[in-house]
Structure 1
Amino acid sequence: MITVFVPSQFGIEPVEATVENLPESWVWLDMNRPSPEEESLVAKLLEVDVPTHEERVEIETSSRLYEEDGALIMSATVLCGTQAGRPITTVATFIVKNARLVSVRYDEPVSFAIARQRALKAGVEAHNGKGMLLVILDAIIDRIADVLELAGSETDQLSSEIFDAESPANAHHNYDDIIRSLGKLGTRQSKIQESLVSLARLFQFLTTREKKLGLTATDRAQVKSLTRDARSLYEFAATLDNKVSFLLEATLGLVNLQQNQTIKIFSVLAVVFLPPTLIASSYGMNFAIMPELHWAFGYPIAVAGMIASALGTYAVFRWRGWL
């Protein structure tokens, strides 16, 4: 799907158009899951090769950020899927040439929808390609910040659930759910860090191409601000990642303690019933000469001995603090 945006009195607005019939004033061409034919038409329109999917997902900076035929081609890893509870990353490519922007993506990041809403508001400097690019990048950073805030709250809640043993609601832990929640948090954190590293490289690339893009002093200040935000968010994400790892290790340790407590109970029970078992085994032997066999009170005495030995062993364990 291709969406074309043109300047308006407030910012930019979408119009109905195709690649074959673009309005002269278009500033942003958003390509979502474009067909090969549409990519070819855009390549001819800009007189530049649109990078293939294989080229865009390569991790080398030179394959993601470069200048070709007067166009700046930048690919960044963008976080998406967090609303559905299945965070993933997708590669979005931005091509800036002649004050126009072309974005190529194969998913629906929330940040792009946020950028569209911002571009429609009055006062937003999105009347050209580089302005719209900064709006999109700012929306991506803001979205990551929102997701990190939510992750921080979820981490604190899980921490309270794991360690607050005095709460009646936490008397019986469901460690299976806790471990799964921590695993999801860890996966999301890794996706966020991957996206932030990619964005930091893109911001650095923009800084070295200030003159090519024609960035104003305000634009340069915004790029520096985005760079600082990306760095601080990465540090926060790394801190959360360490906390999630700690909580996972603590949860596994508590599971081991719980298992050890269960094994300890079985071990104590085995020792408690060992003396009665010894007495019962002794009098279960089939020898002809056993004086106790003819005792009138032999059976109750044997039972009393087994009970006394079990209670005595239990009392010793309680006295030593092993139970």
Structure 2
Amino acid sequence: MLEIFYKDNGQMMVSQSETDFANIPHDKVIWIDLFSPSGEEKRAVESYLGTTIQNRAQAEEIEISSRFSETDEAIFANTSFLIPGPDEYTEETVSFILTGNILTTLRECPLKSFTDLQRRLMAFPKIYDSGHVAFLSILENRIDLDADMVELLSKEINQYNRKVSVGEDISEEFLIDINIIQENTMLIRENIIDKQRVISSILKSANYPQEYRSRLNVLLKDISSLINHTDFGFERLEYLQNTVLGIINLDQNKIMKVFTLVSLLLMPPTLIASFFGMNINFGWFVGHSYWMWVIILVLMLVSLAVIFWVFKHKKMF
């Protein structure tokens, strides 16, 4: 789908047909949004802008040289937007092209930042006098959404921390949930750093207008704060994970202690039973088997009581 946002007599207009390019002057266009475009739509935009739009494989390259590049006529920037899911996040690569005062975006799925910008363009057309303002609005909105995700993760960490503090049973699912939160925290951090690298590269560009650089610097400060927050959250997760593993080790040690004490308690009675059990039919024991069984039982109970008293005296129980 293709959407062309342009100004006409001070009002923001929208066109969804590539044939309208012939009737729209370049200085009137603010934003061209390519949402999972067809080949014809993409070629029409390339012809209108006089530049080539990267394909999806090129946009998803990790190297910074592929995330940002520029020519005399255009600035190309690629970054990833996170989409929250039930348990984890997915990444969607978005391409930005700034040619003169026109912003062109290429994406493959609906994104809240773009929907918000479309609504604001129609509501406040005077604010958006160039594609650079639209570009900054998308980034600012996206950073706010990233901050919301970081805050949500922080609340989840607090919930799991409270569960450990109140002594809830720790299961395998509990550890898996903590690991999922760790993975999401790392993914958010990497995604924020990706935006930091792109914005830093744009600031170094001589083609980017000076009047908008202050807003980019503010974004960099916000990103630095988010990175520090995610680092703190990751440290809390590691501490929480170590605490949980420590509790599990303590529980295992308690179980081993119980088995050890039981085996030690039963050792003397077992020795007495083994010794007399093999010799009950010899010597004096012959003819007195009934009383010998009583004596053996008493000896076993006495030895058990003595061992129990020793353990109790040494506070092993």
Question: Per the shorter chain, which TM-score range?
Answer: 0.7 to 0.9
Is the contact made by 1:175 and 1:255 (CA closer than 8 Å) also made in structure 2?
no
Does residue 18 (structure 1) correspond to residue 12 (structure 2)? The answer is no
SS of corresponding position for 2:259:
helix
- Which residue of the partner structure matches residue 270 of structure 1? 263
Structure-1 residue corresponding to 2:175: 179
Cα displacement (A) at 1:178: 2.4
Which range moves more in the overlay, 176-185 or 232-241? 176-185
Letter in 2 for 1:42: V
2:199 aligned residue? 203
For residue 151 of structure 1, the aligned residue among 144, 150, 153 is 153
Q: How does 1:129-148 map to 2 (within 5 A)?
A: 129-148=131-150
Structure 1 residues 212-251: aligned runs within 5 Å: 212-216=207-211, 219-251=212-244
Q: Say if 1:85 and 1:283 are closer, same or farther in 2 by CA, change over 3 A.
A: same
2:40 is the counterpart of 1:41:
no
1:113-158 C-alpha deviation (Å, 9 max, x unpaired): 3444444443773342111100000011101111111111221222
Task: Return the TM-score normalized by structure 1.
Answer: 0.86
Q: Give the corresponding residue for 1:6.
A: 6
Deviation at 1:183, TM superposition (A): 1.1
Provide the secondary structure at the position in 2 that maps to 1:273.
helix
Distance in 2 (alpha carbons) for counterparts of 1:267 and 1:11: 83
The structure that has the greater radius of gyration is 2
- 2 CA distance for matches of 1:11 and 1:121? 10
* Bigger mean CA deviation after superposition, 173-182 or 30-39: 30-39
2:12/2:125 contact within 8 Å kept:
no
In structure 2, the gaps of 5 or more residues are none
> Does structure 2 retain, via aligned residues, the 8 Å contact 1:89–1:191?
no
**Aligned partners of 1:237, 1:198: CA distance in 2, in Å?**
14
Could you tell me how far apart the structure 1 residues matched to 2:120 and 2:304 are?
Answer: 77
Structure 2 distance, partners of 1:8, 1:161, is 58
Q: Secondary structure at the match of 1:30?
A: strand
Assess, with a 3 A threshold, how the Cα gap between structure 1 residues 299 and 108 changes in structure 2: closer, same or farther.
farther
Aligned residues: CA RMSD: 2.6
What residue in structure 2 maps to residue 192 of structure 1? 188
CA distance in 1 between counterparts of 2:264 and 2:173 reads 35
Identity of aligned residues (%): 23
- Mean Cα displacement is larger for which, 56-65 or 134-143? 56-65
TM-score w.r.t. the length of structure 2 is 0.87
- Kindly provide the amino acid, as one letter, of the partner of residue 301 in structure 2: I
CA contact (8 A) 1:75 1:92 kept: yes
Residue correspondences, number: 312
Hey, what's the Cα distance between the residues in 1 that align with 2:173 and 2:126? 44
Determine which structure has the larger helix proportion and give its number: 2
Kindly state the Cα deviation for residue 287 of structure 1 after the two structures are TM-superposed.
6.9
Instruction: Provide the C-alpha distance between the structure 1 equivalents of 2:250 and 2:9, rounded to a whole number of angstroms.
Output: 66
How far apart, in 2, do the equivalents of 1:28 and 1:131 lie? Answer: 10
Deviations 1:252-297 (A, max 9, x none): 2211221121122112111111122212212322675253353332
Please tell me whether residue 62 in structure 1 is matched to residue 59 in structure 2: no
Per-residue deviation at 1:12? 5.0
Counterpart secondary structure, 2:306: helix
Instruction: Between 176-185 and 222-231, report the one with greater CA deviation.
Output: 176-185
Q: How far is the alpha carbon of 1:200 from its aligned partner?
A: 1.0
d(CA) in 2 for partners of 1:12, 1:307: 96
The amino acid across from 2:186 in the alignment is: S
Counterparts in 2 of 1:315 and 1:202: CA distance versus 1, 3 Å: same
